[in-house]
Chain A
Amino acid sequence: MDYFFTEEQKMIRDLARQIAEEKIVPVRAELDEKEEFPREIMEVLAQSDMFGIFVPEEYGGLGMGALELCIAVEELSRACLGISTSYAANALGTYPILLFGTEEQKKKYLPDIAAGRKLVAFALTEPNAGSDAAGIQTTAKKEGDYYILNGLKQWITNAGEADIYTVIAITDRAKGARGASAFIVEKGMEGFSFGKKEKKMGIRASVTRELIFENCKVPKENILGREGMGFIVAMRTLDQSRIGVGAQGVGVAQGAFEEALKFAKQRVQFGKPIISFQAVQHILADMAIQIEAARSLVYSVARYIDSGAKDISKVSAMAKVFATDVAMKVTTDAVQVMGGAGYMREYPVEKMMRDAKILQIYEGTNQIQRNIIGQALIKEATKLTG
């Protein structure tokens, strides 16, 4: 299918694909096996300007939008979801600065981010606050020129590897949902350290780790937006970045599908390539249908976001849910088409299946996405019925 990309979008696709095929495919199995952070690949991505895609030109980026970022994410995910998670989490951590940063904050942080000199992480989740973000307990107390942070963030992608962290903490518990604020915390700030590194089922080339704040001193000018805007920052960020998770789904599904297709053409049983069996063809056909549908939705929503639309919550949730459910289904089917070979680590699809599962969980589980869609539908229904 031709999605009528511009010259520049094609450039991004081609270069991301070249990086994926030449640099990522040869090392992905080893990175997964060793649970190793892909430093070298991050450097390649930096050198290729991939970290600057969505950063405005005045801060050293390419000044493009959600669609261009999705194109890059999709291509990287086609090769390795662990690596694309490290890459996409960087965007997730950067959006709060892009969307809410002051001119000084943008000037200070964005050029390094765009050039890939500094990696970013986004920290909302805590042991008692997953889907229920309002349950966060990390506090930030203003003392003179500083906010003093105390608490623990859990399961933070890029933790330890990143230089810049956007962190949501409670500044005034009495104010409930209006009592949180967002901060830029830099690695090396007093009282900021890293805890346990998780051992995961998939996306093992990405690092997931705790952030520990013990009287961590953050300069007061590092607050994003105003005090009390923490959840607004978090929700607007997630609305903006969620489409990237959809693109990850399309990419990993495409990668698994191609492996299954190749295999089905070559594998001979009962004297014929298994692709000649209609039952196998139908699995492959369903995979292809779902991927194309997911891709169309992801690109459409990305274009909608780039149009400057404000009501992106519902549609971005739709794209995230649909494309990631497709990813889980298609990667599982790819293993099925390949039989025992699909289950072996010698082939890449078992990893893709393990990896795909995370997409239905992070950046808001697919149940929570459906809640978001449900809420929006209720509002729409109210408009209709009064």
Chain B
Amino acid sequence: MRIIVCVKQVPDTAEVKINPETNTLIREGVSSIINPYDMHAIEAGLQLKEKKGGTVTVITMGPPQAEEALREAISMGVDEAVLLTDRAFAGADTLATSRTLAGAIRKLGFDIVICGKQAIDGDTAQVGPEVAEFLGIPHVAYVKKIEEITEEKIVLYRMMEEGYDVVEAPLPLLITVVKELNVPRLPSLKGKMRAKKAEIKRFTHKDIGIEEDRVGLRGSPTQVKNIFAPERKKERKILQGSPEEQVEWLIEELKKLKCI
């Protein structure tokens, strides 16, 4: 089984600062870690390999120093690491990021792709599903348990706001995982020694075979106007009465909110 795990290197702090002029994250001077959710994705990959055999490859798109994150993943036991690094990749939004990752994943070949639920800095939770779309495969997000896996299909528990869904899906597919899935292992001494010497493959846009204007800033249609924490509105209304009454009431409410 060919298992690909996408990891992102993120700043090691909950208080990420934002450059008010460019509205992008200030990454200088903050130490970096593997996105915590991605640690669970690595663990999931390693466990699948232990059960089913095969190889685990981690990939990341990032600056050259993102290599550290890949070496850490190797010290936990993954077989191979690929760094997507290229000046042209800089300034990517989630669309360009996903297109780039998907290009590399297609080139590497895969049976299952595992992503974290979301990155603790960018926080969009978009990259996993977008990669799946680019690859033209199904995805299941927020996986909290892998119940069963065979060559053709997988049975998963998908976390929902209340409870969970049991989902059966065909392979190949992409999943994004939550912390409830597992406890990431610590590195091993042999793994750390291997990680120090391991060769990290590097891909540029040419290696992936995507034109320069489809990656990075140039390939990113999103423009950041403002970054702020959304206010949480606690107000809830529960519809009551007959279906007709409920529909009428709903239309009124939506009109009030100028939604229709």
Bin chain A's interface residue count: 10 to 19
In the bound assembly, the distance between CA atoms of A22 and B185 in angstroms comes to: 11
Evaluate contact between A7 and B196: CB separation under 8 angstroms. Answer: yes
Evaluate contact between A15 and B196: CB separation under 8 angstroms. Answer: no
Evaluate contact between A15 and B189: CB separation under 8 angstroms. Answer: yes
Q: Would you call B47 an interface residue if the criterion is a C-beta within 8 Å of the partner chain's C-beta atoms?
A: no
Q: Which residues of B contact A (CB under 8 A)?
A: 185-193, 196
* Complex contacts, A133 vs chain B, CB 8 Å: none
Evaluate contact between A47 and B188: CB separation under 8 angstroms. Answer: yes
* Complex contacts, B196 vs chain A, CB 8 Å: 7
A52: contacting residue among B185, B186, B189, B192, CB under 8 A: B189
| Interface 1/0 per residue, A36-62 and B, CB below 8 Å | 000000001001111011000000001
B189: contacting residue among A22, A23, A44, A53, CB under 8 A: A53
In the bound assembly, the distance between CA atoms of A44 and B188 in angstroms comes to: 9
Enumerate A6-32 residues with CB–CB distance to B below 8 Å.
7-8, 11-12, 15, 18-19, 22-23
- What would 15 more interface pairs be, CB under 8 Å, given A11-B192, A50-B189? A8-B193, A11-B189, A11-B193, A15-B186, A15-B192, A18-B186, A47-B186, A47-B188, A48-B186, A49-B190, A49-B191, A52-B189, A52-B190, A53-B189, A62-B189
* Complex contacts, B189 vs chain A, CB 8 Å: 11-12, 15, 48-50, 52-53, 62
State the main secondary structure of chain A at its contact with B.
Answer: helix
Distance (whole angstroms) from the CB of A79 to the closest CB of chain B: 14
* Most chain A CB inside 10 Å of its own CB: which residue of B192, B193, B196: B192
Evaluate contact between A22 and B190: CB separation under 8 angstroms. Answer: no
* Complex contacts, B186 vs chain A, CB 8 Å: 15, 18-19, 22-23, 44, 47-48
In the bound assembly, the distance between CA atoms of A47 and B186 in angstroms comes to: 8
* Complex contacts, A12 vs chain B, CB 8 Å: 189
In the bound assembly, the distance between CA atoms of A47 and B190 in angstroms comes to: 10
In the bound assembly, the distance between CA atoms of A164 and B197 in angstroms comes to: 35
Evaluate contact between A15 and B187: CB separation under 8 angstroms. Answer: yes
In the bound assembly, the distance between CA atoms of A121 and B189 in angstroms comes to: 24
Distance (whole angstroms) from the CB of A24 to the closest CB of chain B: 12
In the bound assembly, the distance between CA atoms of A62 and B189 in angstroms comes to: 8
Distance (whole angstroms) from the CB of A308 to the closest CB of chain B: 23
* Complex contacts, A19 vs chain B, CB 8 Å: 186
* Most chain B CB inside 10 Å of its own CB: which residue of A15, A19, A53: A15
| Interface 1/0 per residue, A124-159 and B, CB below 8 Å | 000000000000000000000000000000000000
* Complex contacts, A18 vs chain B, CB 8 Å: 186
Nearest residue, chain A, Cβ from B191: A49
* Complex contacts, A47 vs chain B, CB 8 Å: 185-186, 188
Distance (whole angstroms) from the CB of B182 to the closest CB of chain A: 14
Nearest residue, chain A, Cβ from B196: A7
In the bound assembly, the distance between CA atoms of A47 and B192 in angstroms comes to: 12
Nearest residue, chain A, Cβ from B77: A47
The 4 A-B residue pairs with the shortest CB-CB distance, nearest first, are A49-B189, A49-B188, A48-B188, A11-B192
* Complex contacts, A44 vs chain B, CB 8 Å: 186
In the bound assembly, the distance between CA atoms of A11 and B187 in angstroms comes to: 10
Nearest residue, chain B, Cβ from A53: B189
Distance (whole angstroms) from the CB of B198 to the closest CB of chain A: 14
In the bound assembly, the distance between CA atoms of A107 and B214 in angstroms comes to: 57
Nearest residue, chain B, Cβ from A62: B189
Nearest residue, chain B, Cβ from A46: B188
Evaluate contact between B187 and A48: CB separation under 8 angstroms. Answer: yes
* Complex contacts, B191 vs chain A, CB 8 Å: 49
Nearest residue, chain B, Cβ from A49: B189
Distance (whole angstroms) from the CB of B19 to the closest CB of chain A: 33
In the bound assembly, the distance between CA atoms of A98 and B19 in angstroms comes to: 60
Nearest residue, chain B, Cβ from A64: B189
* Complex contacts, A48 vs chain B, CB 8 Å: 186-189
Nearest residue, chain B, Cβ from A23: B186
* Complex contacts, A23 vs chain B, CB 8 Å: 186
Distance (whole angstroms) from the CB of B243 to the closest CB of chain A: 53
In the bound assembly, the distance between CA atoms of A47 and B191 in angstroms comes to: 10
Enumerate A143-193 residues with CB–CB distance to B below 8 Å.
none
In the bound assembly, the distance between CA atoms of A44 and B183 in angstroms comes to: 12
In the bound assembly, the distance between CA atoms of A47 and B193 in angstroms comes to: 14
In the bound assembly, the distance between CA atoms of A11 and B196 in angstroms comes to: 11
Nearest residue, chain A, Cβ from B189: A49
Nearest residue, chain A, Cβ from B190: A49
Distance (whole angstroms) from the CB of B71 to the closest CB of chain A: 12
In the bound assembly, the distance between CA atoms of A352 and B161 in angstroms comes to: 44
In the bound assembly, the distance between CA atoms of A35 and B190 in angstroms comes to: 32
